[in-house]
Amino acid sequence: MHTIPLGHTDVAVSRLALGCMLMGTSTDEADSFAMLDRYLAAGGTFLDTADCYAWWPGPGFTGGESESLLGRWFARTGRRDEVFLATKGSAWVADPDAARAETLTDEEKYAGAGADTLRRALDGSLRRLGVDHVDLYYVHVDDRRTPLEETLEALAGLVAAGKTRYLGWSNVPTWRLERIRQLCDRYGWPAPVALQQEHTYLRRRPGDANLSIVDSQQLAYLRAHEDLTLVAYSPILKGVYDDVHKQRDLAQMRSYRGADTDARLAAVAKIAAELGVSGSVLVLAWVLHQRSPRRVALIGPRTPAQFDELMSASDLRLDDDVLRALDAAGA
C-alpha cells in the first residue's frame, strides 16, 4: 500500500483510505470487521468516519453507528495504534426522521461548528470509538452561522488537550479555506492539514453551485499549498462509471451533466474495456496516479466483494498513453 505525507506533518498515510460510513448500518458487523481486517492486512492504515454516520439508511438509525462499530473492532483486535483514525463533527443530526423526510434546511438539520458543540461532539466520538484521541478531526460541514474565530479557537483547544493530533475541513469553498488559514496564521492556531472534498474523474459542470466538489481553482490552490492534502471522497460516484442507469438517474450527476461528462464517460468505458477492468477501478487508479496536488482516494465499499474490487486499483498501473488519453478526454 503506497503512502503519501499528510501535509507538512511527519505522518505518512495510505493513498487509499477506507471510509467506514456504512459500517454498522447498511453493512453488518461481520462484513465490516472482515473489510477492516483485510484493509490492514493489505497494508492500509487510514480509517475515516464521522459522528453522523449513518442516520439516513432508515428508521432506527440515529448516527454514531459507524464510530461504535469501530470501537468494538478496536476492543476486539487491539489495533488502534496501527491506524491513522479520522472522524468529523458539525454534521450531527438531532432529528433523523425530519432529516430523512427532507423537511429541514441545512441550518436546521446540522449541529454546526460552535465551540461547545464541537467539544461535546468530539467527546461523544471518543466515547463511541473507545479511544482517548483521534489522529485527524474534521469540520464536516462549513458553518457560516458561527464566527470562524470561535470554531478555530475551539479546535485549537481540542489539539492542546490531546484529543486530536491534526485538523481538517470538508465541504468548503476555496475562499473560506483561505480565510481559515489566514486566521490560523494570525492567532497561532493549528491550521488544517487535510481537505476532504468530493473529487472524481468527471469535472463539475460550469455554473454549478455545489461547493463540495473540487474545481480547477481549488486544485490550483492545493498545488500552491502543499501543507494541505486533498482527501477525495466519492471518487467513483457510487459506481456511476459502470451503470448507465446511475449515469442518468443518480442525484449527484446533476453537478456533472453535459457534453464534457459524456465524453469522459465514453473514454472511461473504452479504456476500461481495453484493460479488462471496471470503470470504477480505472477511475480510482487514475486518482491514485495524480501527483499535483497529492491526494488520497477514499473508498466506502458496502460489501467485502466491493472492497476487494476497489482495492485492486492500488495495483493497477496506468501507462503514460492511458493517462494522456484520460486527461485529454472532454468537450
Catalytic positions:
53
Q: Helix, strand, or coil here: 263?
A: helix
In angstroms, the CA 304 to CA 132 distance is 29
322 residue type, one letter: V
Residue showing cell 466519492: 234
Write out the three cell numbers for 203.
Answer: 469535472
- Please, is 147 exposed, middle or buried when counting C-beta atoms within 10 Å of its C-beta (0-12, 13-18, 19+)? middle
Query: Going by C-beta distance under 8 Å and a sequence separation of 6 or more, which residues neighbour residue 245?
Result: none
Residue showing cell 490560523: 184
The CA-to-CA distance between both ends of the chain, in Å, stands at: 35
Query: Going by C-beta distance under 8 Å and a sequence separation of 6 or more, which residues neighbour residue 144?
Result: none
In angstroms, the CA 276 to CA 260 distance is 24
Give the largest CA-CA distance in the chain: 54
In angstroms, the CA 285 to CA 277 distance is 11
Write out the three cell numbers for 143.
Answer: 458553518
